[in-house]
């Protein structure tokens, strides 16, 4: 009796095990949805001002004064740094004196020539009148006429050496050029602000000996800041001018602001495989500083009312053969699909699935061809 009972129990266990093994696996279904989908590309970039320059001198000298500190605001033309310029200033004064002398001399020469020409003309006219009365010979009249013509020719010659504009003689023009050269050499001993902006760094002190090539100040111009990012070239297809983006500074992650793609570089950096993208900021926050690190989400695609599935329902992403699991006659079939935008937890389905399909929420949990049973009804 005991032996029979044991055999019966064993048979029952085997039968139950067989039933369990043959029971179809449980899967959940997921339905196609209609929703707006936006794909973004997350990149890290920097804040960049419209113009940033390293200021230095193009001559050798000793610094006599540094008139700005880091963080100072400056206006266009403000004197920032000056070098010892005694010799250059002396050359300017000498050129100014030479110009004044040439102008005075030239003016005097022309005035003398004008008086001589006028007097010679009056003499000629007087000789003509006397000749008509018979008191002078024809030769004397002709000699007076020649003197008047010569005086006028000298005046015309002096006026002919005037500059192309005709405003001043050539000698004056040369003196003006000499003075401008002296002033330009004096300007080489001074650093002025190219435009309104801010001093970012100062690396010079009074008494320093400086030479061409040394950076004395770093300056950033005023104007709207921009963002610059360098996404990989594989993302080029999703980038477009006037594309929208959101950004936040790493120092203020909660303060998100809007940006717009203003420039996409015309060439890819072959060493990095990236492309430069610049974004303008319509309403820049007050905390942005040049060089600040920012996190940027670039919008790379948008489809209103797209047909989507959860990301877990689509297998083979990243390959040219994505697929979903569809239950047909109690078994999972592998159904190829065409996918579009990918945003967050959803993927756009362009083709290969219809609303009547019983789509498996996670086909990776089983294998195509296996028997399954759906645990949630349609619409749940």
- For 94-108, the pLDDT digits (tens) are 888 888 887 777 777
- For 286-292, the CB contacts below 8 A with 24+ separation are 287/249, 287/251, 287/252, 287/255, 288/47, 288/225, 288/249, 289/47, 290/47, 290/48, 290/49, 290/52, 290/200, 290/220, 290/225, 291/46, 291/47, 291/48, 292/46, 292/47, 292/249, 292/250, 292/251
- Strands 197-202 and 73-74 turn out to be antiparallel
Q: Can you tell me whether residue 118 is helix, strand or coil?
A: helix
- Percent of the chain exceeding pLDDT 90 equals 33
Give the length of the chain: 380
- The CA distance from 124 to 140, in Å, is 9
Q: What values do phi and psi take at 91, rounded to 5? A: -65, -35
For the chain, residues with pLDDT lower than 70 are 1-2, 4-9, 11-23, 157-169, 377-380
Residue 310 in contact with residue 345, Cβ under 8 Å? yes
Token readout for 322 is 């994505």
Distances (CA, A) of 278 to 43, 74, 364: 12, 26, 41
What is residue 202's predicted lDDT score, i.e. its pLDDT? 94
- The CA distance from 129 to 353, in Å, is 119
What is residue 16's predicted lDDT score, i.e. its pLDDT? 46
Q: Name residue 335's beta-bridge partners.
A: 324
Q: What values do phi and psi take at 346, rounded to 5? A: -125, 150
Cβ count near 287 (within 10 Å): 12
Cβ-in-10-Å burial (0-12, 13-18, 19+) of 7 comes to exposed
What is residue 258's predicted lDDT score, i.e. its pLDDT? 94
What is residue 72's predicted lDDT score, i.e. its pLDDT? 92
What is residue 19's predicted lDDT score, i.e. its pLDDT? 42
- The CA distance from 130 to 125, in Å, is 9
- The DSSP symbol for 196 reads S
Predicted model pTM = 0.55
Q: Which residues contact 357 (CB under 8 A, 6 or more apart)?
A: 32, 324, 326, 335
What is residue 295's predicted lDDT score, i.e. its pLDDT? 95
Instruction: Find how far residue 47's CA is from the centre of its chain.
Output: 11
Q: CA triplet 118, 123, 125: central angle to 5 degrees?
A: 95
């Amino acid at each position: 009796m005991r032996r029979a009972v044991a055999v019966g129990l064993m048979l029952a266990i085997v039968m139950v095990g067989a039933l369990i093994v043959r029971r179809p696996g449980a899967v959940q279904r997921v339905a196609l949805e209609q929703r707006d989908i936006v794909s973004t590309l997350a990149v890290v970039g920097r804040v960049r001002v419209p113009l940033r320059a390293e200021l230095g001198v193009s001559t050798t000298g000793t610094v006599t004064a540094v008139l700005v500190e880091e963080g100072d605001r400056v206006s266009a033309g403000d004197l920032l740094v000056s070098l010892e310029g005694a010799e250059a200033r002396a050359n300017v004064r000498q050129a100014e004196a030479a110009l004044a002398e040439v102008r005075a001399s030239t003016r005097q020469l022309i005035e003398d020539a004008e008086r001589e020409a006028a007097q010679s003309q009056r003499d000629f006219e007087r000789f003509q009148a006397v000749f008509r009365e018979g008191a002078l010979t024809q030769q004397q009249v002709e000699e007076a006429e020649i003197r008047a013509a010569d005086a006028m020719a000298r005046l015309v010659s002096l006026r002919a050496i005037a500059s192309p504009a005709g405003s001043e003689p050539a000698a004056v023009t040369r003196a003006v050029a000499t003075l401008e050269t002296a002033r330009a050499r004096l300007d080489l001993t001074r650093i002025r602000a190219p435009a309104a902006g801010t001093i970012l760094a100062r690396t010079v002190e009074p008494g320093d000996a400086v030479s061409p090539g040394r950076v004395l100040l770093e300056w950033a111009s005023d104007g709207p800041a921009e963002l610059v990012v360098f996404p990989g070239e594989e993302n080029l297809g999703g980038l477009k001018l006037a594309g929208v983006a959101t950004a936040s500074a790493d120092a203020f992650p909660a303060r998100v602001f809007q940006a717009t793609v203003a420039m996409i570089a015309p060439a890819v950096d072959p060493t990095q495989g990236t492309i430069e993208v610049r974004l303008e900021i319509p309403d820049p926050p007050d905390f942005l500083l040049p060089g600040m690190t920012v996190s940027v989400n670039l919008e790379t695609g948008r489809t209103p009312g797209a047909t989507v599935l959860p990301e877990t329902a689509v297998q083979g992403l990243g390959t040219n053969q994505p697929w979903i699991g569809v239950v047909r006659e109690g078994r999972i079939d592998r159904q190829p699909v065409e996918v579009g935008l990918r945003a967050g937890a959803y993927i756009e389905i362009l083709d290969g699935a219809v609303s009547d399909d019983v789509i498996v929420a996670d086909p990776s949990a089983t294998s195509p061809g296996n028997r399954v049973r759906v645990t949630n009804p349609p619409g749940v």
